[in-house]
Each structure stands twice: as structure tokens, then as C-alpha cells.
Chain A
Amino acid sequence: SQQGEEDPQALSIQEGENATMNCSYKTSINNLQWYRQNSGRGLVHLILIRSNEREKHSGRLRVTLDTSKKSSSLLITASRAADTASYFCAIQPMNRDDKIIFGKGTRLHILP
């Protein structure tokens, strides 16, 4: 399938530590996006990284993209309790403007 696949499926870390989540996909992409979802709530767009970009930062978030390996990582530095959520990567396949394809997500739990 084309979809992104995140790993790990679940991650628990102590507050203050860094959290790294990975995403792999199988098709050529226009861009890859990361979203956060608090339990039972809506999707919050975090970062979009284009296929010609290798790294992007936004506050405590750092996203990398390796198109040769078809993989991406999301790093959250200095984690906080409020970062507890599910994180999804979503790919926009090459030449397809009309949809993005989500992975199953990583459930991140920040321990106080």
C-alpha cells in the first residue's frame, strides 16, 4: 500500500526527554505531513515537508525526510505532558493533489 507506516506504535517517555517517531512509505510523494490528534479530538497540522526538503523545524519539532529511503522522522525535544497525543504521518502521493494518505499513528505518552 502507499500509506505511511509509523513506528513505534506506542511510545512512553519521561517528561523532558526527546521523543522520536518514524514513518515509512512506499510511493513517490509530493510532500509528507505530520499531524497530532488528542484523544477523540480533531487533527492538528504540525509540519509539511516537501519532497525536495530534507529537514524542517518548528519550535520543539524537527522533521527529517529521506526520499531515497522513503522515510521521515518527527523529533519532539524537551517533551511536555501536553505533548501526549497520537501522531500521524500522511503522504501526498506524487501528482495527486486530491488526497493525503494517513498512517496508523504513534501513541505518545509523556510520563510526569
Chain B
Amino acid sequence: EAGVTQFPSHSVIEKGQTVTLRCDPISGHDNLYWYRRVMGKEIKFLLHFVKESKQDESGMPNNRFLAERTGGTYSTLKVQPAELEDSGVYFCASSQEPYNSPLHFGNGTRLTVT
């Protein structure tokens, strides 16, 4: 089966610009998660979708971040406008169930804001 796919793998943008990250989960996985790792720090939870609904968005840093999952398939994470501190690696993960089921991670999108 195809794994979790993230696009783009790298993105370099200037402060104030907009960037949209995309995640395609494993087919049939209703649960989709976004995590972020800022340079040298821990990987932090951003939010959790169950199908198209946001189950938990307690980790979203601020209202410059907007996540969507229309139709319950792929998800996008938009940062608008981007700030320097948004730089990091954004990981997407999916699972069949929200518990007792391993997370399958994508390779991540490395975002650099200059």
C-alpha cells in the first residue's frame, strides 16, 4: 500500500508570503494528524482530523494556520502570512483508529521562512 505522502518536500518562502502544505494519508485511514518540529526541538502535535472534522486542534499555534480536509481524504495546512518562527519540518500522519493503532508518518515538508 502507498504510504503517507506529503508535498512539497521543501519550501522556501519569504516572511509575509503564503504557503500551503498538502498531505495524502493512507487510503482508508480516517484519522489524520499534523505535527511540527522546529529546529532542534521536539516534535509537537498540531491537530487531528477524523474524516473531514477537526477532532482536536489544540496544538495549532495561532490563527495564521488553517488546516482543512475537505471530503475526508487529503488535507492541506496553510500558513498565511508566514513568519520566521514558522520554519521547521511539518509532518503528517494517519491511522485507521485514533487509539491502539500505530501512526504512519509521511516524510515531512521542510519549510524555511526567510
Partners in one complex: no
